[in-house]
Chains A and B, each alone.
Chain A
């Protein structure tokens, strides 16, 4: 059943302060709507439960990307197109650029926002594993003020986050300290474009001689939330790349993921492919002579 437009109320105050006041006045009543790539799909299908919406699309306070010498501050209302066009994202945070380029089509990237993707909290979102390996911080804002939280731990369960009812994500903060890291990202889907992932991976590593000085791996669609592979990383950190360490890493990976069978893939396939990607990533860090 289609939704009836007359059933829905919508406001577009045009700046952040009145939006926050509305959220504070009736917490949980007003649903913020940014680019609409998720909520308007639910609306079209007659499945949008919120009846009162407040537009946050294009709010100037949420749409800027600002750099300091230490950090990159990405407004939560920045679109995937904004991310793909930004030279520092492309140069220093290529995993985020990759995730942005995999998200939907050009038209979806022109509307879909990073903050919207985080709050929507789909475990299949292509750009969220990148935020996990870069260890982003989120700046949350409400009439009560601002608070800065780590993105690690922000997802508390399937489609659940630590965002309070009167808060918005204002900024995603990335620390510019990944020079010398090698990055790897893969999306596995039924077709190249416009497909929700069976699984996706973002990974970073720093190599010192024959050993892995640092390694960070995150996966989409392998758990109820975008998942950082802490145990797998622990096994690999400091290790050399050999059959033994890779086998131990695969065992750790299989222990910490919890994918499901669904319309897009199966648990068994996802586990097998995630292990393969991890192995491809690690082997690729240590090119053999003659390669």
Chain B
């Protein structure tokens, strides 16, 4: 799976970071950094949770 973030929608609420800190991080300027843009399958549950909890729905998964 590949993580896609819509930078127009992302507002650095950081809920994705709470859901999956191995993959999502906010840098010193509060900008979202995708640490692994093609994470392994064992992270799927947490990554899908991150996508779901984003209040702005800024995240999508592509295969």
- Chains A and B form a bound pair: no
- Interface residues in chain A, defined as those with a beta carbon under 8 Å from any beta carbon in chain B: none
User: Chain B interface (Cβ within 8 Å of chain A)?
Assistant: none
